Structure 1
Amino acid sequence: MSYLVLARKWRPKRFSELVGQEHVVRALGNALDTGRVHHAFLFTGTRGVGKTTIARIFAKSLNCEKGTSAEPCGQCAACMDIDAGRYIDLLEIDAASNTGVDDVREVIENAQYMPSRGQYKVYLIDEVHMLSKAAFNALLKTLEEPPGHVKFLLATTDPQKLPVTVLSRCLQFNLKRLDEGQIEGQMTKILAAEGIEADAGAIRQLARAADGSLRDGLSLLDQAIAYAGGALRDDVVRAMLGSVDRTQVAALLDALADGNGETLLGTIETLAGFAPDWGNVLEALAEALHRIQVRQLVPGARREDEGIDVDAYAGRVRPEVVQIWYQMAINGRRDLDLAPAPRVGFEMSLLRMLAFRPEADAGVPPPAGGAGTGASASGGGQRSASAPAGAAAAPAAVAPEAATAVPAAPEPPAPRAEPVRQAAPAADPSDTPPWDVPAAAAPVRQQPTAPVRGPSTMAPPSWPDDRDEAPSMPSRAPTGSTRPAAADALEAGIVMKPATPAPMPQPAPAPAVAAPAAPLATAPVARPASTGGPVIADAEDWLERVTACELSGPARQLASNTAFVSHVDGVLTLVLDPGFEYLRSERSVAALAEALAGPLGAPPKIVVQAGAAPAETLHQRLDRERDSRQAAAEETFLNDPTVRRLVEKHGARVVPDSIRPVDEN
């Protein structure tokens, strides 16, 4: 008698023998017991999880000679013929080799005839997603309204390829992948029945290698039995699978924890003698790191150590280092195909773990051969680069952060919506030139007096003179800089002259240390050149403040489509353009008030009215400016001599709406 492989010999013959898939067994069992059996079922799932097996058991339950039930007898002629694969009313069709519309047409024609022996004619179409589009279309009508004696059982590993019209006509059951415990239990049961001795570690390795498929696991079990020639031992199965010994994983972790590069490379050389799959080694390392992290963060969750002293490593390696190593192992396994050779990619993954460590990991010694020294040196170089030029070196006992800290006075609040950014005050007050006025003392009006001739760490300061006002150039010097403003200005080629501070060109709240603010205006007045009171003077002032506010979303749209009316006694009255009433929500009004709180010193009470705008809104201004730029661009383009020559002499035609200003994004 020929040998029957374990996957076929131990194929379940009734629902009670199935491993897993309880959700499918329960639904089908209830349907069979109550007689509410649908005419089309779709079983989906990865390979080897029981799709075809469940379909055969279901067909046997339908055609059992003792009656339709969830527990077929298994002794009648129909049950035995279905188990043997020779039942005439169970038609198994391989859609991978019968993909055409002619094959489906034959199924449709035969479906009209009554079953020969049983109560139902069952069509089991395996890998149904391989059917062609025309075949699916031909099957749709019969699949929706088949004869009463026909049942369709469809199985596929790729349900995404099925048309929605097919899915809607079937009851779909998604079969789950089996976990390692279920596969391990079934293998243990089969080995006991076969009288084969096996180590628990060997069975665990085979269950892990099955990757959720019981059929794959039984095929590996057949291979292991043939390879071992007797009892299944842990080392024999490991050699057959090409998996790494857990003691070698422990050696890798020891070398990484000690920061010893020579030991690490020696362990890799030892591993290379077994010709392992380097991706599997990284996977085993990632699994070990996962168990270590679980022990560190959830001590009560006990897991199998599998040859690794998890408790010892949990105390030797900090949790954040374990996280970094785990991520490097996962990324290294993904990038193995891109490496010059698999071993090179594996070595680089572990050397990366050796080189990159958190700076606070002072308890871990530096890697041998200077690997760790280079990492720490690079970190120190980054810190020293941020220190001021010419600063004295800090003592070795001082922390790096303390060595780079520069005392600086706290910055006062910005005196306007677009603050003039100045260099931070010097650490030594004696270094401050007499013309450097603190921002908290009085607002400074600035105007550039000379062009910038070279790069600088700050924008060129400007000073008032008899000329008209010009907008200031906002920028800010580095917070940690201790150089006087005059030094930066001279380096940039800027002429600085002392001047009496003047008011800002735009209205802004009074500084915290300034004199008491003037009383609020009670009515819109002509906008002066500058004002220091926290009042929105007029429509132009409103537009400038809205432009400077950092608003987004509905609040920005609300501010852009409202026109200024008045700002009296903390009440800001606005008019909303008709058609934009939907923008007037409590959330948008609150966001606008919060954005204006900084420039005005306190959030105003905003009253939004509906009606015709008495002044131009920001949205209208932007549209007007955009139209003006567009008209100027079209005029310039059409007046260009080359364009005119092409139009007049060569009959060229300008495509409408194809001209854009050069500064348009």
Structure 2
Amino acid sequence: MDDIAFPQDGTSETPQDGGAYRVLARKYRPKTFEDLVGQEPMVQTLENAFETGRIAQAWMLTGVRGVGKTTTARILARGLNYEVPGQTDKPTVKLEHEGVHCRAIMEGRHVDVIEMDAASHTGIGDIREIIDASRYRPASARYKVYIIDEVHMLSNAAFNGLLKTLEEPPEHVKFIFATTEIRKVPITVLSRCQRFDLRRIDQAKLTGLLRRISDAESIQISDEALLMIARAGEGSARDSLSLLDQAMAHGAGAIEADDLRQMLGLADRARVIDLFEHIMHGRVAEALDELSGQYEVGADPAVVLTDLADFTHLVTRMKIAPRAADEGSVTEVERVRGQAFAETLSIRLLSRAWQILLKGLQEVQAAPKPLSAADMVLVRLAYAADLPDPGEALLKLQQGGPVQGAGAQSAPPGGPPPQGGPSAQTDAGPKLKAIAGGASRVQPAAQGVPEHEPLRAVAQAEPEPPALILRSLQDCAALASEKRDIPMKVAIERQMRLVKIEQGRIEIQPTPDAPADIAGEFGRKLTDWTGTRWMVSISQTPGRPTIHEEREANQAQLLSDAKSHPTVAALLAHFPGAKVIDVQVKTSEDEDPALADPLLSEALGEDDSDDV
């Protein structure tokens, strides 16, 4: 069933079947709209609709597991057929007394309220039975109500067969659908229904529900244990009550947080925060010992990483929106220590930690040895927390100051910066080496490098050659020719109009025939060839002519100048139909004395060629 909540009066049902035990999810199932937990907007809408007589012909209830879909459908069917002799004889949401049809409807045995599980009745034949039976009036109730659970499991033929009846049902027929996969329901069906999205139950309300039920069952349970169950339930009342049922059996009348933690395979929240602190300080050995200790007492490595991700998310929210610390689901230790982390850790570091944990969680879940995989995730996370951002490292190098990790804006909470961890492991720990232009790579630290200035010392010990300077597209084309990349050389010369160039950055305007990815490909080639990061961007500003266009324009100017030369003009006049097809510029060392001879015209006059 997709529903559970606690009656407000605190009463419980009498066990049936000769005193057989009933699980809490069934024992404390709601019977009225007031009993539903966390669905107040839907109740308000239905109340207004019933009071004004605007009762829909079909409803679609959707939501995650355990939020009350099937129970809401039964309560809605009860409200549609509510009848108390001498008091009420109309649809209503105020179900203060048990009516004529109420008990049979809530127990699922009323002849006029038909429940069907679409997961086991998926075909057109099942829908045809509903269509045929809907023509007949109800036997005793006001409306004939069809409740179809998991409606998304119906076949396409079944959905199509239901459309006509769903659009124009008889006045005595109502449909109530429930599903956890609303996207699988055809839009033609959704458009014929009023849709209600049942919400996940808030942790505070869920904790209150669990407290009332445990008091009614005379079970002693701590507030921390209740909060742990509510978190594990993830907004589902049924899941939470199932866990409470299990905890009652495990604790034998008294439930403490430690017992529940062992039952669920959870880690202590305080120990999770300690682990988070070790990682943010770069204390890898302490972090691995803490994870091993939690594993030995029954914590699942995947759950530990999930808790780490949750705490990372909480710290990020506290940094951006401090009001997040006042939420009821946040414990005192999370509030105090989380605020301390929020004041000292940067958003960049928290975002990086979140991404590594999400990726690492998938690796742990798929790994044959989850603990080993979790160890490697923590190592990766600790070293990533210690490494500076490449741009920040380069800026520190240029300023001549020591380079620190990018994560902390000041000393991490809990004491001064650690002397151990990745930042102090100069013998084996990797050190970031900044390269001109923004690129970076990891190289082993040099022996004897001072701990507090690793980047500066390594840069002095191993000086980098000066970066290649490119001042024009001609330089780029020459470099492409040197690298024997003829296609890129042709693209540079014929498909790029230069707008702006500076070291590490070029703005171009591609020609209409240029490929769409020419800027990205050009930037990657320059970065590979020079060892310096180059950014090539597309500009809307008109650029200079391409190298090829400039070459053509220069050649045309040379031809024009040649034609206007007196000697050449005389030749063209002497030979009708002759034309100048090329001009070659030679240096003074390469000049042919014959070409400078004043008698050139006479010598050429003896040539039968038509072209010069």
TM-score range, shorter chain: 0.5 to 0.7
The answer on 1:373 being equivalent to 2:416 is: no
Change (3 A) 1:9 1:552: farther
Aligned to 1:355: 383
User: Which residue of the partner structure matches residue 143 of structure 1?
Assistant: 166
Aligned twin of 2:125: 102
Segments of 5+ residues of structure 1 without an aligned counterpart are 388-394, 423-445, 461-469, 481-547, 557-590, 600-665
Structure whose residues are more often helix by fraction = 2
User: SS in structure 1 opposite 2:289?
Assistant: helix
**SS of equivalent to 1:41:** strand
Please point out which of 38, 42, 46 is paired with 2:60: 42
Q: SS state of the match for residue 136, structure 1?
A: helix
The aligned runs of 1:373-522 (5 Å cut-off) are: 373=426, 377-380=430-433, 399=456, 419-421=473-475
Tell me which amino acid in the other structure corresponds to 2:75. I
- Contact kept? 2:50, 2:92, Cα under 8 Å: yes
Q: Kindly provide the amino acid, as one letter, of the partner of residue 595 in structure 1.
A: P
Alignment of 1:13-412 (within 5 A): 13-65=31-83, 66-67=88-89, 68-299=91-322, 301-303=324-326, 304-305=330-331, 307-308=333-334, 309-314=337-342, 317=345, 319-356=347-384, 357-359=386-388, 360-361=403-404, 364-365=417-418, 367-368=420-421, 372-373=425-426, 377-380=430-433, 399=456
Matched with 1:654 is none
CA distance in 1: counterparts of 2:380 and 2:305, whole angstroms: 13
Query: Partners in 1 of 2:249 and 2:271 — Cα distance?
Result: 27
Q: In structure 2, what is the Cα distance between the partners aligned to 1:282 and 1:549?
A: 46
The 2-side partners of 1:328 and 1:298 are apart by 23
Q: Does the 8 Å contact 2:37/2:205 carry over to 1?
A: yes
- Asked if 2 retains the 8 angstrom alpha-carbon contact of 1:354 and 1:371, the reply is no
CA distance in 2, matches of 1:122, 1:452: 80
User: 2:171 corresponds to which letter in structure 1?
Assistant: G
Structure 2 CA distance, aligned partners of 1:220 and 1:198? 13
For residues 89-142 of structure 1, give each alpha carbon's deviation from its aligned partner in whole angstroms, at most 9, with x where no partner exists.
111111112222222222222111111111111111111122222222222222
- Cα distance in 2 for partners of 1:174, 1:386 equals 49
2:542 to 577, 592, 595: 595
Contact kept, 8 Å, 1:355 with 1:375, in 2: the verdict is: no
Distance 1:300-1:62 versus aligned 2 partners, 3 A rule: closer
Q: Is the alpha carbon distance of 1:338 and 1:150 closer, same or farther for their aligned partners in structure 2, counting shifts above 3 Å?
A: same
> Within 1, Cα distance between the matches of 2:356 and 2:195?
40
> Deviations 1:175-207 (Å, cap 9, x if unpaired)?
122221221121122223333222111110100
User: Would you say the 8 A contact 1:95–1:131 is kept in 2?
Assistant: yes
Residues 115-170 of structure 1 show CA distances to partners (whole Å, capped at 9, x for unaligned) of: 11111111111111222222222222222222111111111111222222222222
Letter in structure 2 aligned against 1:550? Q
- Which one-letter code corresponds to 1:329 in the other structure? L
- Give me the whole-angstrom Cα distance separating, in 1, the residues matched to 2:325 and 2:430: 40
In structure 2, distance between residues paired with 1:330 and 1:305: 23
Tell me by how many angstroms 1:400 deviates.
6.9
CA deviations 1:420-445 (Å, max 9, x no partner) are 328xxxxxxxxxxxxxxxxxxxxxxx
Distance 1:173 1:122 in 2: 17
Distance in 2 separating the partners of 1:232 and 1:103: 47
Which residues of structure 2 form unaligned runs of 5+? Answer: 1-18, 389-402, 406-410, 412-416, 442-448, 516-538, 547-612
Residues 122 and 150, structure 1, Cα contact 8 Å, conserved in 2 = yes
1:296 Cα deviation after fit: 4.3
- Cα pair 1:421 1:474 within 8 Å, conserved: no
TM-score, with length taken from structure 2:
0.64
The residue identity in structure 1 corresponding to 2:433 is: G
> What is the alpha-carbon distance in structure 1 between the residues aligned to residue 303 and residue 364 of structure 2?
11
Q: How many Å apart are 1:299 and its aligned residue?
A: 4.6
Q: Which amino acid aligns with 2:387?
A: P
Cα distance in 1 for residues equivalent to 2:274 and 2:239 = 31
Residue 305 of structure 1 deviates from its aligned partner by 4.3
Partner SS for 2:122: coil
Q: Distance in 2 between matches of 1:264 and 1:408?
A: 41
Alpha-carbon distance in structure 1 between the residues aligned to 2:202 and 2:224: 16
Contact 2:433–2:459 (8 Å) recurs in 1 = no
Change (3 A) 1:265 1:386: closer
TM-score, structure 1 length as denominator?
0.59
The amino acid across from 1:253 in the alignment is F
**1:325 CA displacement:** 2.3
3-state SS in 2 of match to 1:323:
helix
Quick check: 1:259–1:366 contact (8 Å CA) kept in 2? Answer: no
What's the secondary structure of 1:284's corresponding residue? helix
Q: Which amino acid aligns with 2:361?
A: R
Change (3 A) 1:272 1:169: same
AA in 1 matched with 2:426:
T
Moved more, 370-379 or 262-271: 370-379
- Calculate the aligned-residue CA RMSD, in Å: 4.3
Aligned sequence identity (%): 37
